[in-house]
A and B are shown apart, each in its own frame.
Chain A
Amino acid sequence: MMGPSIHKKVDSIVFGVFSPKIIKKMSSAKVVTPELYDKEGYPVDGGLMDIRLGVIDPGLRCKTCGQKLKECTGHFGYIELARPVIHYNFVSTVLTLLRSTCRECGRVLIPKNKIDSYAKVLDQAEQEGGISARRSKIKEIITTLRTTNKCPWCKSRQQKVVIEKPTSFYENEKRITPIEARARLEKVPDEDCMLFGINAKAFRPEWSVLTVLPIPPVTMRPSITLESGERSEDDLTHKLGDIVRINQRLFENINAGAPEIIIEDLWDLLQYHITTFFDNAVAQLPPARHRSGQPLKTISARIKSKEGRIRHNLAGKRTNFSARTVISPDPMIDLDEVGIPIIVAMKLSVPEKVTEWNAEYLKKFIDRGPKKYPGANYVVRPDGKKKKITDETKEQVIEELQPGYSVERHLMDGDIAIFNRQPSLHRMSMMCHRIRVLPNKTFRLNPAVCAPYNADFDGDEMNLHVPQTEEARIEAEILMQVKTQLISPRYGLSIIGCIQDAITGNYLLTKALNFSREEAVELLLAARENDLSSLSNKQKFSGKEIFSVLLPTDFNFEGKSKGFTGDEKVDMKNDTVVVIKKGQLESGIMDKANLGEGSGLMLRNLVKQYGEQKAIEILGKIFRLGIEVLLKLGFSCCLHDTDMPKEAREEIENTLSKAYEDVDEMIAQFNEGKLEAFPGRSVEETLELKILERLNGARNKTGGIVGDFAQKDSSTIIMANSGARGNPLNLAQMAGCVGQQALRGKRIDLGYSGRTLSAFKKGDLSPDSRGFIRNSFKKGLAPHEFFFGAMTGRDSLMDTALRTPKSGYLYRRLANAMQDVKIEYDESVRDATGNVIQFNYGEDNLDVSKTEGGKLNVQRIIKSVLKA
């Protein structure tokens, strides 16, 4: 057996700054020449690509650790700077220190007796508001110090220090060279540093003036070999080359005793190069550029932003054993299954440990090899070496195979995979499915799970991940299975439900359909209901009876259908009161209010009473039953649905004409100045409001007329009534009148030219000119109407385009701020630091995804107890 494995865990990370001494100590090479390679193309000793700094060429060995490419992680080097240079990122620290410490003795410009009281104030601030509060308090104190002109310790006069951005300091017009600055910072004693929030152990102030510069390992800045055999160096190497070159020049000039001006110029140049090495986007400096003119990407740019090291490589990682293709629907697979193409099944694999008992079984996989399904791709030895299975190595591998090995076999039905669609906005965007290997090249999913993924099939792609360890698989199964995600933690109702055809089908079935025994059995079997014992011996069955077969025999439920009004008589007539007694649907129509996602408690109660597994099975059956019903009946909507009888057309025409007349009347009144303004509004606004109201009223009325005259059994109406797709308004727009096009809540504005289109008179306030579409979609739109429709269409497109990044950013901020808030064992809600945010989660400790719409259903319990 394997010995106990010990994992090392990082417990904490302390931040600090390297001292020059440590930089030298941790370096494995001193860089002295800007040359990179010699004539043979071999890295120069003491150059920037020195092989003591690590290797990036295959075949070479690192001189420091003796390892090869990819094994050696690289080693730091250093260069000795001819003259010290200020580290750009610490400029502000240097400035505050220069300003608030004595230029002679280095002490803080606070009298001895006050130091303690200030220290106390700062400590208190830190205790109350954390380190950031301390920093802001320090800032306050420092601003008061600037006016002091005499050191309270050594009585020497102080001068005003100004900064000339980015990196030069002046005192009385005289430059403070980095050497001087460093000398002054050295004098600041450790205990005074503490006042500034500087931990002298982690960071001595003088370290912010560099005397040696660490050279990052070559592995961090690998060069790439172009096709032509030419080498192209990394941006950092370029920048370091500049630094080394100028540094050498500076050395030579100083040694040669060159004039001060030349030396200073070179010094400034060195300062520039080192500054841009750290940050190439300093406001006052021109960014260092490639010869092509594109700015170099230096250290800051590597870390920062979404594509930077932190967000791109550290907080987000890449993964193997994943696949991505287009998705398509398949209602015949189970809700918690995902269909994957054979090609994918043969590329992805699951490692299976070889034991005495499954060795023969696994050998068969190896024997079939990687090209025949179901086969195996690799064999992993106990020491971690991977061996590819090919036709040649097959036999040898089988021979070698023994317990302790693992075989990476192809995916098979029933394996576990995590399925995901971006944007992954909530936890239901990544769920665990069982694999079904299917022909063709798309991922197949049951349309009922479209809602949580927010997927449709207009070309959407989805990702699939295969967990590789036993632990990961178990965790995925327990926490991420579709059935565990049935109830949304957002509102405590089922987020998975029937959609589209499944709703229409069940609506029709439970409304008025009757089937013969044969047909009923056929339907139920097609929906994969195998337990037909609850079907009575009758020869004819109503739709409700057929539907009831799917329900558990002890299920009781009372609910409402979509058209529920509360008026008993109307509800009886429309059959909108859902009553299920002992698994029999006694009254009520099954529509979106009962079967759809996020609505109604029926699915919620099924989960509660019979558990997730049973609920998901029932839901799958209901879904398929709906589709089978439609398959049997045939269902399609057509242009004919929008046909209106003559009376209806006339009535619509009259309504609109009447509205037009009324509006004309209002405009006339307005022009005569007779219109009375609403309180708090101008006359113009009042007119607009009145017109808008009148026109909307007219449109709604046409909608009503269309609703009255439309054939009740037309497919369009059925879909709208069942809640599957569309609403009465859509039909009204097709058959009656499209209505007012609104931009920013108003009618379409006249604009600068005083008219919306050149076809109208200036200042025209009539409905036509301001974007009222009188025609229906079926009748066809007039040119100006079409144009107004396009205007609002464009507006809504822009809206979506602008909204997505905004809401994305809001979400990122929320998630970042709250990601570490969790429930502790004492039931309190705390963040990572241990601050209590709530004493009881949501004031009652209820998990929303376990509630019924956010509540504990007291009424139901009382009823059930009192009845019994």
Chain B
Amino acid sequence: MDDVLKEYSKQLPIKIIDEVKKSVPKNVSKSKLKEIMENILEEYKSMKVAFGESVGLISAESIGEPGTQMTLNTFHFAGVSEMNVTMGLPRIIEILDCSKSLSTPMMEIYLTSPLNKGKGIKEYAEKIKETTLGECIKEVSVNLGNSTIEVETDDNKMNILKITKNKIIKIVNTSLKGYTVKESGNLIILKPRGKEDTVNNLFKTKEKIKSIYVSGIKGITQVLPVKKGEEYVIVTAGTNLKEVLGMEGVDSSRSFSNDIREINSILGIEAARQSILNEVTKVIDVQGLNVDVRHIMLVADTMSISGLVKGITRYGVVSEKSSVLARASFETPLRHVINASISGEKDELNSVVENVMLNQVIPVGSGVPKLVVRKE
């Protein structure tokens, strides 16, 4: 059987051959298999894309058209145990813009055994979450008489996080300059070093204290252990892929973030491309729309072909175009024309808009083939 299939491996995509392998009964005769393969090959040939087909525009249409049907502010709100994530059109725009700051950064952390069975997952999740001093404190107050700041710690919370008072003092000491930190009773007292501080400054530091980083992974503001299929995963709000992937107990081959730039910088462009594909597909599926992967794939490829992730904006993909007129017809036409004239750019007129502007045949689809006639 494999011999017959092998013959076709050059002419047919692997995916199709694999499917045949899987679904053909084991006892099929060679001639039958051959017949099947011939039929498939014939059908495959009839389904191939035509040369010159403007697949780019078709992809743009296929993603742009359902965009009008998407609802604007859909938050994923499926019950109790789900994180709020931006979905729908805003998310698509976010992905294709390749924006630097996401409205809801998020990670899905897969775990290795035994954590993925749900054992000790709560404690583990707490460990990942970024804890600030504000969370292990009951109260902060300013003692105006001595011009000191008094911090009352929350022992309950500290027990959960396994932090000692000494550690807190140490942390405060290193991150706040100009204060001496002392323990007195159940309070931690901060005293300005040297001269007395102004009241204004004292209140400022009081606020600052709350946001001092204590433990966990920076940037992760919420954690939620969720059962996904057979195993437990941790869903987080906020991302920090680098740190998380380095942690013990994390299945680094499957854990991911929804921040494409981050993925690009840590896992490289191939991963970024795949993650564009995944994220767009996710949004479109949630909306119940039907868009073929090929279209999303092509968009993801155009965004990542240069080796960097480029957004579909005037600074990204569009600025890469070689044609001056094509760039000018998009946005900021004057800038493009002026820059072009300074460097004496030449527009070879080999894409679409330029030729529309000049009333010429566009070099796409039925405009590609040329006819040569010998002049008698």
Considering the complex, which residues of chain A in the window 260-297 have a beta carbon less than 8 Å from any beta carbon of chain B?
Answer: 279
B212 CB within 8 Å of chain A: no
Q: Are A598 and B36 in contact (CB under 8 A)?
A: no
Q: Is the CB of A198 within 8 A of B343?
A: yes
Closest 3 CB pairs of A and B: A821-B56, A202-B344, A811-B64
**Contacts between the two chains (Cβ within 8 Å), count:** 336
Interface pair B223/A680, CB less than 8 Å apart: yes
Q: Verify A15–B357 contact, CB threshold 8 A.
A: no
Residues of A within 8 A of B58 (CB): 427, 489, 848
A9's closest neighbor in chain B, by CB? Answer: B360
The reply to whether A14 and B62 form a contact with Cβ atoms under 8 Å apart is no
Give the interface size class of chain A.
35 or more
Inter-subunit contact B341/A202 (CB<8 Å):
yes
A37 at interface by CB-CB < 8 Å: no
Other-chain contact of B92, A10, A11, A475, A810 (Cβ < 8 Å): A810
How far, in angstroms, from A131 to B223 measured CA to CA in the complex? 45
> Please, which residues of chain B bring their CB within 8 A of the CB of A614?
none
**A304 x B356 contact (CB < 8 A):** no
Is B368 touching A822 in the complex (CB atoms < 8 A)? yes
Q: Any chain B CB within 8 A of the CB of A319?
A: no
Q: Chain B's nearest CB lies how many Å from the CB of A385? A: 22
Are B56 and A818 touching (Cβ within 8 A)?
yes
**B67 near A846 (CB under 8 angstroms)?**
no
Contacts of A821 in B (CB 8 A): 54-57, 59, 298, 302
Contact with B along A193-237 (1 / 0, CB 8 A): 000011101110000000000000000000000000000000000
Bound complex: CA of A300 vs CA of B332, how far in Å? Answer: 10
Cβ-defined contact, A11 with B324, below 8 A: no
B290 touches A491 (CB 8 A): yes
B68 to nearest A CB, angstroms?
5
- Contact (Cβ within 8 A) A693 B80: yes
In the complex, whether A372 has a CB less than 8 A from a CB of chain B is no
Q: How far is the CA of A25 from the CA of B141 in the complex (A)?
A: 81
Q: Which of B52, B68, B225 makes the CB contact (< 8 A) with A804?
A: B68
**What residue of chain B has the Cβ atom nearest to residue A802's Cβ?**
B72
B342 touching A199, Cβ below 8 Å: yes
Q: Which residues of B contact A201 (CB under 8 A)?
A: 344
Q: Which of B20-28, B108-116, B165-173, B197-205 contacts A (4 or more CB under 8 A)?
A: B20-28
Listed stretches B41-49, B143-151, B252-260; interface member: B41-49
Among B56, B330, B339, B360, the residue within 8 A (CB) of A820 is B56
* Residue of A with least CB distance to B54: A822
CA–CA, A813 and B342, complex, Å:
26
Check A837 against B48 for contact (C-beta < 8 Å): no
When chains A and B are docked, how far (Å) is the Cα of A702 from the Cα of B341? 70
Judge if A713 is at the interface, Cβ distance under 8 Å: no
User: What residue of chain A has the Cβ atom nearest to residue B314's Cβ?
Assistant: A813
- Chain A, 802-817, contact with B by CB distance < 8 Å: what is the 0/1 string? 1110111011011111
A-B contact pairs, 27 of them (CB 8 A): A16-B344, A130-B322, A197-B343, A199-B342, A199-B343, A203-B343, A303-B333, A303-B334, A310-B328, A317-B356, A426-B65, A479-B366, A490-B65, A678-B80, A678-B81, A744-B75, A810-B89, A811-B65, A815-B61, A818-B302, A820-B351, A820-B352, A822-B363, A823-B52, A832-B326, A838-B297, A850-B46
B164 to chain A, nearest CB (A): 25
A807 CA to B61 CA, complexed, in Å: 12
Please state if B348 and A841 are interface contacts (CB–CB under 8 Å).
Answer: no
**A822 neighbours in B (Cβ, 8 Å):** 52-56, 363-365, 368
B343 touches A806 (CB 8 A): no
B356–A803 CB distance below 8 A: no
| B36–A843 CB distance below 8 A | no
Interface presence of A745 (CB below 8 A): yes
Residue A73 CB within 8 A of the other chain: no
> Which chain A residues border B60 with CB–CB below 8 Å?
811, 814-815, 817-819
> A180-188, A403-411, A784-792, A855-863: which lies at the B interface?
A855-863
Q: How far is the CB of A291 from chain B (nearest CB, A)?
A: 28
Give A821 Cβ to nearest chain B Cβ, in Å: 3
- Whether B47 lies near A856 (C-beta < 8 A) is yes
Which chain B residues border A803 with CB–CB below 8 Å? Answer: 68, 70-72, 89
- Asked if B16 lies at the interface with its beta carbon under 8 angstroms from chain A, I say yes
A513 at interface (Cβ–Cβ under 8 A)?
A: no
A492 within 8 A of B: yes
Whether A818 lies near B57 (C-beta < 8 A) is: yes
Contact assessment for B318 and A823 in the assembled complex, using a CB-CB cutoff below 8 Å: no
Which residues of B have CB within 8 Å of A700? none
CA–CA, A156 and B73, complex, Å: 63
B342, A315: Cβ atoms closer than 8 Å: no
Contacts of B358 in A (CB 8 A): 10
Q: Using known A-B contacts A693-B79, A814-B64, determine if residue A311 contacts B294 with beta carbons closer than 8 Å.
A: no
